[in-house]
Amino acid sequence: YAAKAKRNTAVIFDEASFAQRLEQNRLAAALAFAADRDEFVVYYQQKVDLLTSRHLGFEALVRWRHPQLGILPPGRFLPLMEGHLIQAMTRCIVNTVGRDLKAWKAAGLRAGSVAINLPEALLVSQDGYDLIAAAVKANGLDWRDFAIEVTEDVFLNRGAEQIAETISRFRKHGVSVSLDDFGTGFASLVHLRDFPFDELKIDRSFVAEIGKDIRSEQIIRAIIDLARNLGKRCVAEGIEEEAQRGFLMTAGCDIGQGYLFAKPEPASAAVERLAQNPLAVRGKSGRITQGP
């Protein structure tokens, strides 16, 4: 009895975290059905030319339309997901993006490429590659209609070599590969030297410090120079203020993403935005010119 009482006391004492854990368990249980019930939604956020704000492409960002709680951001549910669920979710996203791209093309819209955030589990195996290959085929798309984003954590994986191989296969088809959240993870300079990629994305935690923390500003400058010297594109994420845009442009970054330009939004809103701000065209010189 004493032991039981003790346990009860512990539970009562820790009521808040207990309730939280219960909530997490409920979410995790519901997540198991989310893919089958078609509850994953794709939001699109523009990538733009910093100088002109012209459209360059989209990033696909998942949301979960929970039957009771409404639209949930990935921070609420990605940490609760494991192997096969992540795979099922990614399949939903890639399929949705494929269908949207097809519809946009049919409507005469050019969206540029849509970047998929591919988790490492789908890069160690061929699954991520196969998913995108299937979407390209099923919807009559070009490989280049897709781009992929991977985080630095892939370098921690024991299958890092396998991942690099998968990524090389993508790149052979002209699919652009971004190293996401750069500067916050585990990429070393050796990785930057050996890893096949096209674009560095400066993490938004650095961008948020522009005008506030001189060291963050210096790091951003160094990342931009590093990208440029390696012959890679540089993209800044999380741009919310005009002053941040100005700093980044002066430092030599020419592509950006952030609330200043567009929030992630459902396909219908993204399409409207695209119609009003058509794709910018990169000339042979690499300079961005006015789209049609």
Which residue ranges make up the site for ligand C2E (CB under 6 A)? 45, 60-62, 73-75, 78, 93, 117, 119, 149, 180-181, 204, 237-240, 257-259, 264
Q: Using CB distances below 5 to 8 A depending on partner kind, what does residue 98 bind out of ligand C2E, Mg ion, none?
A: none
- Taking residue 272's Cβ as centre, other Cβ atoms within 10 Å add up to 11
- Taking residue 162's Cβ as centre, other Cβ atoms within 10 Å add up to 15
Read off the tokens for 63: 């949301």
- Residue among 24, 1, 5, 23 nearest 13 (CA): 5
- The window from 69-77, 112-120, 268-276, 279-287 that contacts Mg ion (CB under 5 A) reads 112-120
State which of positions 191-230 bind Mg ion (CB under 5 A). Answer: 201
Site map 228..247 versus Mg ion, x via CB under 5 A: ---------x----------
Which of 30, 260 has the CB closer to Mg ion? 260
State which of positions 161-180 bind Mg ion (CB under 5 A). Answer: 180
State which of positions 143-162 bind Mg ion (CB under 5 A). Answer: 149
Q: Alpha carbon 219 to chain centroid distance?
A: 22
Q: How far apart are CA 32 and CA 22, in angstroms?
A: 16
Over the range 72-94, which residues count as b (16 or more CB within 10 Å of their CB) and which as e? Answer: beeeebbeebeeebbbbbbbbbb
Q: Using CB distances below 5 to 8 A depending on partner kind, what does residue 271 bind out of Mg ion, ligand C2E, none?
A: none
Read off the tokens for 125: 């195996």
Contacts with Mg ion, residue ranges (CB under 5 A): 117, 149, 180-181, 201, 237
